[in-house]
């Protein structure tokens, strides 16, 4: 049997297969950014014995959200909803981490408390998009965080991590990818600060490391992980020395004894997949040399390519997005080489149960009829 379906340990947890539900923004939270019964059903459907799931990006503060309908963990009222999600996953024998994020400049005045401006490391014009009641809307210009505001950002992540612990999660993953706040501080196309959070690699990585250490103080290091997108230009990101920057960042994270490192492959920029990019660019293959722990890779995988990268040793687990959206029983389908449901991209973000919890599980009976 493929190594994709062999045991692996992340932190203190033993898994029985290496097919991971990627963190996917679905925007089905109820009023107050609270997970409801529909969200609990969605995650429970995709749980399996010995399997591993990641939640969608979960805002650590009201001002840290970039999408109407995305959930939060910035208020105690949100804990009970997440507890139902976790309970459903645990009932199926699975493990689940909460992915914590702050959108930073990728937001809109209408999503901010009192209509304030979104925040970022520097005031740099960009072409990001936020999701409002009327649909996708250009992000509004951000302001730069002041030096004395940054400890408050760290505390927002720490407080959200405490709520994730109270909700019963198995751990947390910090979203340092895709052009959100932690990624914004890393890359010099966005971070043009001249204080201790700008300039050198050490300074630009400072916020990510401080947030990671704060969350470790809540959870312990082997229940904390970080996600990075080293080659992505999604949300107008970029760095003048990406290889050197992310090598440094990963080397620093390697010192923290994390549960795992989660890397988005260079062929993926947001929802766009480009197979023509340099596959030797910075991602799992290169950064494996600088990280001694477990690596999860994500980005446009199918069963064959997932099996191949696990066999190569460049990654230990593979996170699936769109195929897991459309196939709640994806691990079993991949294990048995069964046909996959087609996904419906227009229903990925926002809406109701359509394209969310109504995808069928595989059944021998329906397959025989077809």
Catalytic residue ranges: 180
Place of tokens 């706040």: 181
Strands of 75-221, DSSP E: 95-101, 119-120, 129-132, 135-138, 143-144, 171-176
Find the helix or strand (DSSP H, E) in which 269 lies: strand 268-269
Neighbours of 12 (CB within 10 A): 12
Joined tokens for residue 334 = 């991949």
Cβ atoms of 34 and 40 within 8 Å: the answer is: no
* Residue 79 CB contacts under 8 Å (≥ 6 apart), including other chains: 73, 163, 166, 167
Quote the crossing angle between the two packed helices 150-166 and 206-219, to the nearest 10°: 30
Cβ atoms of 104 and 184 within 8 Å: the answer is: yes
Partners of 58 in the β-ladder: 100
Place of tokens 């019963």: 168
């Amino acid at each position: 049997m493929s190594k994709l379906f062999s045991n692996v340990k992340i932190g203190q947890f033993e898994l029985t297969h290496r097919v991971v539900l990627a963190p996917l923004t679905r925007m089905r939270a109820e009023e107050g950014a609270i997970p409801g019964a529909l969200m609990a059903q969605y995650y429970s459907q995709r749980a399996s014995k010995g399997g591993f799931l990641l939640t969608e990006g979960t805002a650590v503060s009201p001002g840290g959200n970039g999408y109407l309908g995305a959930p939060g963990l910035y208020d105690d009222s949100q804990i009970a909803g997440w507890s139902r999600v976790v309970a459903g996953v645990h009932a199926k024998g699975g493990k689940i981490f909460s992915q914590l994020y702050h959108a930073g400049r990728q937001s809109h005045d209408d999503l901010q408390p009192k209509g304030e401006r979104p925040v970022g490391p520097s005031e740099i014009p960009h072409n990001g998009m936020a999701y409002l009641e009327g649909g996708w809307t250009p992000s509004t210009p951000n302001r730069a965080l002041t030096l004395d505001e940054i400890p408050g950002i760290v505390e927002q992540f720490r407080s959200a991590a405490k709520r994730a612990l109270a909700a019963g999660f198995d751990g947390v993953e910090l979203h340092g990818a895709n052009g959100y706040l932690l990624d914004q501080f890393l890359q010099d196309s966005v971070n043009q600060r001249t204080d201790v959070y700008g300039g050198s690699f050490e300074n630009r990585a400072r916020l990510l490391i401080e947030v990671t250490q704060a969350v470790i103080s809540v959870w312990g290091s082997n229940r904390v992980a970080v996600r990075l997108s080293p080659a992505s230009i999604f949300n107008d990101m970029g760095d003048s020395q990406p290889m050197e920057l992310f090598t440094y960042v990963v080397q620093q994270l390697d010192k923290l004894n994390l549960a795992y490192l989660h890397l988005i492959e260079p062929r993926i920029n947001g929802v766009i997949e480009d197979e023509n990019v340099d596959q030797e660019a910075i991602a799992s293959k290169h950064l494996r040399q600088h990280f001694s722990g477990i690596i999860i890779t994500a980005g446009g995988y199918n069963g064959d390519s997932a099996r191949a990268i696990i066999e190569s040793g460049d990654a230990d687990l593979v996170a699936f997005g769109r195929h897991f959206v459309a196939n709640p029983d994806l691990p079993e389908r991949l294990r048995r080489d069964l046909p996959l449901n087609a996904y419906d991209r227009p229903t990925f973000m926002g809406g109701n149960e359509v394209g969310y919890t109504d995808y069928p599980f595989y059944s021998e009976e329906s397959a025989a009829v077809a």
